[in-house]
């Protein structure tokens, strides 16, 4: 078994030409998604054409970083590089600007009693390899 496999490295996202603006924004502490100037809608994941109307007139815009909890699972046995002793909340959130994204919820006990649907969330960032990964925490905790 190679050293690379035993250390489980290489799990961090690798920026590509289409996703580099997203990772550049997270490195500045901003959550940015693409905005279509033709139909005035935000979308995610990164694509060169608007998924709503097909326009190529799109640009990157910083979001408010506000979101609400749409759905989640609690993984009680996450694989490395995550700590297998610490439950991981894997969530689908909806940004205030509209797009939904998969992420993790931090800053709250991994307990359904603390994770009501529609919970108001605020983005925060954790280092993962060379990138800053956007995750969310309860908005009250971020205040
Ligand atoms: Zn559009």
Domain regions of the chain by residue span: 16-142
Q: How many CB atoms lie within 10 A of CB 3?
A: 7
Q: How far is the CA of 43 from the centre of ligand 1 (A)?
A: 9
Task: Report the CATH number of the 16-142 domain.
Answer: 2.40.50.840
Q: In the block, which residue shows the tokens 């990157």?
A: 60
Give the pLDDT band of residue 3 (cuts 50, 70, 90): very low
Dist. CA 9 → ligand 1 center (Å): 38
Q: Which residue has the tokens 């709250």?
A: 108
Averaged pLDDT for residues 19-38: 97
Residue 62 Cα to ligand 1 middle (Å): 17
For ligand 1, the distance from its centroid to the CA atom of residue 69, given in whole angstroms, is 25
In this structure, which long-range contacts are made by residues 123-127, counting pairs with CB atoms below 8 Å and at least 24 apart in sequence? 123/31, 123/63, 123/65, 123/66, 123/67, 125/26, 125/29
% of the chain residues with pLDDT over 70:
91
Q: Which residue has the tokens 């078994």?
A: 1
- In the DSSP assignment, the letter for residue 81 is T
Nearest to 120 by CA among 143, 99, 88: 143
C-alpha 123 to ligand 1 mean position (Å): 25
Q: Average model confidence (pLDDT) for the chain?
A: 90
Apex 96 CA angle, 98 and 124, nearest 5: 120
At 141 the pLDDT is 62
What is the 70 CA–ligand 1 centroid distance (Å)? Answer: 24
Residues surrounding ion ligand 1 at CB below 5 Å: 36, 38-39, 50, 52-53, 55
pLDDT in tens, 54-98: 999 999 999 999 999 999 999 999 887 778 899 999 999 999 999
pLDDT of residue 56: 98
């Amino acid at each position: 078994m190679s050293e690379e496999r035993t250390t489980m490295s290489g799990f961090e996202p690798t920026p590509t030409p289409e996703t580099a603006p997203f990772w550049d924004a997270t490195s500045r502490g901003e959550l940015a998604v693409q905005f279509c100037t033709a139909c005035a809608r935000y979308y995610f994941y990164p694509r060169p054409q608007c998924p709503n109307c097909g326009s190529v007139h799109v640009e990157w815009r910083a979001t408010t970083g506000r979101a609400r909890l749409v759905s989640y699972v609690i993984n009680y046995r996450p694989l490395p590089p995550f700590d297998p002793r610490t439950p991981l909340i894997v969530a689908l959130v909806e940004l205030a600007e509209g797009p939904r994204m998969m992420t993790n919820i931090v800053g709250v006990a991994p307990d359904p009693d603390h994770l009501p649907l529609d919970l108001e969330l605020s983005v925060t960032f954790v280092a993962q390899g060379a990138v800053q990964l956007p995750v969310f925490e309860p908005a009250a905790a971020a205040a």
